[in-house]
């Protein structure tokens, strides 16, 4: 039988606050085990969790950026289960009154636009980490590191609106881009700052009744998410074709085999017995607070793309590259503010700058060439002080030394030569040396013109103004 896949996604984004959601411990990644802990995040009896206000700010940001309504009143609840990485025996989360509700994101797959519903976004704390560390003398025991316990998360729950793995990926990439633009999550999938669980089910094509779903966990790259969903579609189709029933269960993705396997025995634990956490008082968000956050929102990727296309007239490719991260877009715009020729700036940012940064393994925010310096360089080209070709040499030097373009041009004597008599002298020299080629050219081998231009440019060490060279050379050769 032919089946239609139905996908809903739950994304956990780790927030880039300095401190944890309910205590003042650091959220830094990769510190030595249990060094970032206190009575609150260790779950010691009697410790009182107090909500980090920035987490609420970030949640409102995420909600506004994903078209959610912000709940005027939301509360925290305890989600009860036992696991060694959860010191309190419950996770503080939100249940029936989350902070954000009923949003959506618009995606596009193969030119087809689609709206994906967002059911809710809620605030919660992360658990610690269960590690199978190589510690001598512990036998079969496991180790627990609670540095991550109590780290703030936003869980973004989508509607089961996606109908292909590609739609799922498009939605995830969009959400990923937004949280990074908002500056609320670093988006690092490998370190677990952006984690995705996928609910996948099949129904016969044409049906509107969803099948039983499996929840796929432990997927930490976009490629793996696609792989996991595709594997799950095959697995469920086989079961259904054989007349079997898909079991509702949690399945773990194994990146080594590209398959999913059942996490047996976790089913009863799904009875979480949520109830309001008496330690944490209700969060009341008034319109003034929402307005204040709304004003602080950066321009979001879709709006930026539309503006770059419509107002700057940039090609689609340029727009995609430049808006891939907020930082790159900001670098571009800052340069553009000082040198208002969009396509030229775009070429340089996508070309020389990106190449140099990639070679160097640096982020655009760490660029040794500032937007102001790049704009200065482009002005030198525009004024004819240096040629476009020399500009690339100057750029490399700027990148290496952090010096200003004028300084480099002066130091290295790279000023473009536009003086006709100087260029004429070089041309004469070249033509005298290449007498044979000149004769050939004059007997009709027009193609040699490029050769002469090249030779003259070389003799001038790239400094001759190519326009002037062309003009004079033509005159001389015809002469």
- Strand 249-254 to strand 214-219: parallel, antiparallel, or no bridges (unpaired)? parallel
Among 89, 91, 22, which Cα is nearest to 53's? 22
Is 244 or 282 the residue whose CB approaches other proteins more closely?
282
User: Which residues lie below 8 Å from residue 229, measured CB to CB, with a gap of 6+?
Assistant: 5, 7, 165, 168, 198, 200, 216
Is 21 or 427 the residue whose CB approaches other proteins more closely?
21
Only segment of 48-56, 162-170, 305-313, 340-348 that touches other proteins (CB under 8 A): 48-56
Is 251 or 305 the residue whose CB approaches other proteins more closely?
251
The string of DSSP codes covering 276-300 is E-TTSPPEE--HHHHHHHHHHPPPP
- Strand 77-80 to strand 112-125: parallel, antiparallel, or no bridges (unpaired)? unpaired
Which of 5, 25, 202, 430 is the binder for other proteins (CB under 8 A)?
A: 25
- Using rule CB under 8 A, residue 47 touches other proteins: no
CB of 61 to other proteins, least distance (A): 14
The string of DSSP codes covering 339-350 is S--HHHHHHHII
Instruction: Measure the CA–CA gap between 147 and 32, rounded to whole angstroms.
Output: 8
Only segment of 30-38, 388-396, 418-426, 467-475 that touches other proteins (CB under 8 A): 30-38
Ranges within 249-308 binding other proteins (CB under 8 A): 263-266, 268-269, 271, 273, 276, 278, 280-284
CB of 326 to other proteins, least distance (A): 21
The string of DSSP codes covering 431-471 is HHHTHHHHHHHHTT-TTHHHHHHHHHHHHTTT-B-HHHHHH
CB of 134 to other proteins, least distance (A): 10
CB of 16 to other proteins, least distance (A): 10
Ranges within 66-85 binding other proteins (CB under 8 A): 75, 80, 82-84
Which of 4, 34, 309, 344 is the binder for other proteins (CB under 8 A)?
A: 34
State both tokens at 260: 């999913």
Only segment of 144-152, 184-192, 198-206, 373-381 that touches other proteins (CB under 8 A): 144-152
CB of 53 to other proteins, least distance (A): 4
- Using rule CB under 8 A, residue 23 touches other proteins: yes
The residue behind tokens 């809620």 is: 122
H/E run at residue 254: strand 249-254
CB of 139 to other proteins, least distance (A): 9
Which of 4, 42, 379, 459 is the binder for other proteins (CB under 8 A)?
A: 42
- Using rule CB under 8 A, residue 206 touches other proteins: no
Which of 30, 32, 112, 190 is the binder for other proteins (CB under 8 A)?
A: 32
Beta bridge partners of 156: 11, 121
Q: Counting beta carbons within 10 angstroms of the beta carbon of residue 381, is it exposed (0 to 12), middle (13 to 18) or buried (19 or more)?
A: buried
Tell me how many residues contact other proteins (CB under 8 A).
56
How does DSSP classify residue 21? Answer: S
CB of 43 to other proteins, least distance (A): 11
**Residues 97-136: x/- map of binding to other proteins (CB under 8 A)?**
x--------------------------------xx-x-x-
How does DSSP classify residue 353? Answer: I
- Using rule CB under 8 A, residue 164 touches other proteins: no
Among 261, 243, 242, which Cα is nearest to 251's? 261
The residue behind tokens 């503006």 is: 307
Contact 211, 236 (CB under 8 A): yes
258: left (phi over 0), alpha (psi -120 to 50) or beta: left
CB of 31 to other proteins, least distance (A): 9
CB of 22 to other proteins, least distance (A): 8
CB of 414 to other proteins, least distance (A): 49
Is 271 or 311 the residue whose CB approaches other proteins more closely?
271
Phi, psi (rounded to 5 degrees) for 10: -120, 120
Is 272 or 449 the residue whose CB approaches other proteins more closely?
272
The string of DSSP codes covering 78-135 is EEE---TT-TTSEEEE--SS-SEEEEEEEEEETTEEEEEEEEEEEEEE---EEE----
Among 23, 71, 83, 20, which Cα is nearest to 48's? 23
Ranges within 395-454 binding other proteins (CB under 8 A): none
CB of 86 to other proteins, least distance (A): 11
State both tokens at 299: 């321009």
- Using rule CB under 8 A, residue 143 touches other proteins: yes
Q: Which residues would be at the binding site for other proteins (CB under 8 A)?
A: 17-19, 23-26, 32-39, 42, 50-54, 56, 75, 80, 82-84, 97, 130-131, 133, 135, 137-138, 140-146, 263-266, 268-269, 271, 273, 276, 278, 280-284
């Amino acid at each position: 039988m032919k089946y239609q896949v139905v996908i809903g996604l739950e994304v956990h984004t780790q927030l880039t606050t300095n401190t944890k959601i309910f205590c003042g411990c650091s959220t830094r990644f990769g510190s030595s085990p249990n060094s970032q802990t206190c009575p609150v995040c260790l779950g010691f009896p009697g410790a009182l969790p107090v909500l980090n206000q920035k987490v609420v700010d970030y949640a409102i940001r995420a909600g506004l950026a994903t078209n959610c309504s912000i709940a005027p009143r939301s509360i925290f609840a305890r989600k009860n289960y036992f696991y060694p990485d959860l010191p309190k025996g419950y996770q503080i989360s939100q249940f029936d009154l989350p902070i954000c509700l009923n949003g959506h994101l618009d995606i596009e797959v193969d030119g087809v636009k689609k709206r994906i519903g967002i059911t809710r976004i809620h605030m919660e704390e992360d658990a610690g980490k269960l590690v199978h560390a190589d510690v001598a003398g512990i036998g079969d025991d496991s180790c627990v590191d609670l540095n991550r316990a109590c780290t703030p998360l936003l869980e973004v729950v989508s509607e089961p609106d996606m109908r292909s793995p590609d739609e799922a990926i498009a939605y995830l990439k969009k959400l990923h881009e937004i949280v990074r633009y908002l500056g609320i999550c670093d988006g690092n999938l490998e370190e677990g700052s952006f984690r995705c669980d996928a609910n996948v089910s099949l129904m016969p094509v044409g049906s509107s009744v969803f099948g039983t779903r499996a929840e796929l966990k432990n997927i930490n790259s976009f490629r793996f998410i696609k792989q996991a969903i595709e594997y799950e579609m095959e697995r469920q189709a086989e079961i259904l074709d054989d007349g079997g029933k898909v079991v509702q269960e949690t399945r773990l993705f194994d990146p080594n085999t590209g398959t999913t396997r059942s996490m047996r025995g976790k089913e009863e634990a799904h009875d979480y017995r949520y109830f309001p956490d008496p330690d944490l008082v209700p969060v009341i968000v008034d319109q003034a607070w929402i307005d204040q956050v709304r004003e602080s929102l950066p321009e979001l990727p879709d709006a930026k793309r539309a503006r770059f296309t419509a107002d700057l007239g940039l090609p689609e490719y340029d727009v995609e590259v430049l808006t891939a991260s907020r930082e790159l877009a900001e670098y571009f715009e800052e340069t553009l503010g000082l040198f208002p020729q969009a396509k030229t700036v775009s070429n340089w940012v996508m070309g020389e700058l990106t190449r140099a940064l990639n070679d160097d393994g640096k982020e655009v925010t760490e660029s040794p060439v500032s937007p102001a310096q790049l704009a200065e360089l482009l002005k030198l080209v525009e004024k004819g002080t240096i040629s476009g070709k020399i500009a690339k040499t100057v750029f490399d030097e700027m990148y290496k030394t952090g010096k200003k373009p004028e300084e480099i041009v002066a130091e290295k004597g790279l000023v473009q030569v536009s003086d006709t008599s100087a260029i004429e002298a070089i041309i004469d020299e070249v033509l005298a040396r290449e007498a044979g080629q000149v004769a050939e050219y004059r007997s009709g081998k027009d193609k040699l013109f490029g050769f002469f231009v090249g030779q003259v440019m070389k003799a001038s060490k790239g400094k001759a103004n190519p326009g002037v060279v062309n003009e004079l050379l033509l005159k001389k050769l015809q002469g």
